[in-house]
Structure 1
């Protein structure tokens, strides 16, 4: 699937192009989603988008298109393989745990996704970032912890516990964590432990705690999922807006 739309920005017209993209990690086929401004004549920053536990879905694609509208080239990666998308929490939990069962496999899949982004001809390899939501937030923090070549990572209502223990100076990316104060899945004690970890390794990081926001606060589908599946998630428009603005500020600071 491919789509294009035009957007006026100042004196230039952006040609936003979005399409499905396939790539491989070892023997597994992965189905991602690439959104870029094809009208830009020079390389632009590249942003990796890592999905929630549901798998790559319309929400992931929407965020890629929003990033393309900001002038970036965004790749939504597929950590599960074959574009798998869960329909309920049991399926989502099983898919997520299958990836986390061997963090080395997860790391390889993250590297493959990043390599696919860097292979795009309109991406500036010196200006890359990764953002993730919930499970995806944990994964982009893992990318930072293992020292992948990223300028910045942003976790939105992500899990914070480490799968790898970095040493001092090993986290090269600037880190932003956007956390909901009322998150029922990630406690403020978890936040404090994360801050202690980051302080201990000298990371350049920031944690924003959004008042009144729970888990999944950036997704408008969260309220429906809460009602349908009985899980403690919910959309919060203010936190969604504020966290997106904080991400943009970080990117502007990192890339000038």
Structure 2
């Protein structure tokens, strides 16, 4: 039984331990990632896309140039400074991903 109609990932790791199999994922997936996010490097993003295509998953991936990890968190810069981690708030990416997410959910849950 497929209980999830949609799934959204924002600024997180895209690696999987068990690859998706064809027909296994029925929910549509939307992913937002920062192109400068060291936790989701380009090779991981490419592997994710290959996995989704091979499994026949309906997905959308939007990568924001220059955006780092935690780009939707207005406090990311403070955390980055305090803990020495590669985080940064990106107002443009935050606002765009928010609008895209709302459109996605409106379409899925209409």
Same fold (TM over 0.5): yes
* 2:29 is the alignment partner of 1:175: yes
Answer 1 or 2: which has greater strand percent: 1
Q: What is the correspondence of 1:100-119 to structure 2 with a 5 Å cutoff?
A: none
Aligned to 2:49, the other structure's residue is in SS state helix
CA distance in 2, matches of 1:159, 1:149: 23
For residues 61-91 of structure 1, the C-alpha deviation after alignment (integer angstroms, 9 at most, x for no partner) is xxxxxxxxxxxxxxxxxxxxxxxxxxxxxxx
CA distance in 1, matches of 2:17, 2:3: 18
Residue 226 (structure 1) aligned to one of 75, 80, 90? 80
For residues 195-238 of structure 1, the C-alpha deviation after alignment (integer angstroms, 9 at most, x for no partner) is 00000000000100112211110001110011001000000011
CA distance in 2, matches of 1:165, 1:182: 24
Q: State the 1:148 CA deviation.
A: 5.2
Q: What is the correspondence of 1:15-34 to structure 2 with a 5 Å cutoff?
A: none
Q: State the 1:164 CA deviation.
A: 2.9
* 2:78 is the alignment partner of 1:202: no
* 2:98 is the alignment partner of 1:239: no
Aligned to 1:234, the other structure's residue is in SS state coil
* Gap runs ≥5 in structure 2: none
CA distance in 2, matches of 1:155, 1:168: 20
- The alignment covers a number of residue pairs equal to 110
The two structures, once aligned, show a CA RMSD in angstroms of 1.3
Larger Rg: 1
Give the structure 1 partner of residue 68 of structure 2. 214
Q: State the 1:194 CA deviation.
A: 0.2
Give the structure 1 partner of residue 43 of structure 2. 189
Larger relative contact order (C-alpha < 8 A, sep ≥ 6)?
2
Give the structure 2 partner of residue 154 of structure 1. 8
- Which aligned segments of 4 or more residues in structure 1 are displaced greater than 4 angstroms? none
Give the structure 2 partner of residue 251 of structure 1. 105
Aligned to 2:15, the other structure's residue is in SS state coil
CA distance in 1, matches of 2:64, 2:72: 11
* Gap runs ≥5 in structure 1: 1-146
Q: What is the correspondence of 1:112-151 to structure 2 with a 5 Å cutoff?
A: 149-151=3-5
Q: Normalization by structure 1: what TM-score?
A: 0.42
